Amino acid sequence: MSHTIGWWDRVRIERLVWTLDQRLYDLPTRSRVAIRREVRANLLEAAADVGTTEALRRVGGSGQLAQRYLVAQLGEGPRHSWVAAFWFGSLTPFVLNFVFGEAADAYRQGVLAVDPHADGTFVWPGVSYLQTPTTFTFADGYATQLTGTWTVLTYLLWIGGTIVVGRLWRLLTSRIRRPDSVTHTV
């Protein structure tokens, strides 16, 4: 029996396809595009045969389907996460610079609290091992600041944290385990 696929049925199918795509962000873009096309075509064909509701029920949810694709392409177990690595790697500098800036500003306010018309050069040592000293030059209570920069240790912690949070070392093991024959063509 042939079922008619209306616009609402297409919206339901697209919703599943795009939520599936969001769950497959650890796969290469070409693979994700190929999977989207394959799932969309299969769902449209199944919806024409058994109806959209039944076709979507048989697929399960986008989470189950994504898990099957990820296991097929990357293997079992914990995987790397480009999304987690991106968020950690991009937000950490903002957080560190905010904390370092607020600490330096607290030092500046402390100097001005003691002498509102301070003159001279004051050096705040910064956060030990994570930033270089910050130099404040005061002239009649107005300060100019030569900000402390990140140390090599801070950069190493930032890069190491990005690798750990994103579990990026698993990229090497997944590439070693994955046979070359597992590829999608468009």
* Exposure letters 149-181 (e unless 16+ CB within 10 A, then b): ebbeebeebbeeebbebbeeebbeebeeeeeee
Sign of the torsion formed by the C-alpha atoms of 18, 24, 29 and 30: negative
Does residue 147 register a pLDDT over 60?
yes
Nearest Cα residue to 182 out of 39, 80, 75 = 75
Comparing 2-11, 37-46, 66-75, which segment has the lowest mean pLDDT?
A: 66-75
- As a whole number of angstroms, the distance between CA 59 and CA 179 comes to 26
Per-residue pLDDT at 178: 52
Per-residue pLDDT at 179: 52
Sorted by sequence, the CB contacts under 8 Å of residue 131 that are 6+ apart come out as 100, 148, 149, 150, 151, 154
Q: Which residue has the higher pLDDT, 174 or 32?
A: 32
Q: Which residue has the higher pLDDT, 152 or 72?
A: 152
- As a whole number of angstroms, the distance between CA 79 and CA 72 comes to 12
Per-residue pLDDT at 61: 82
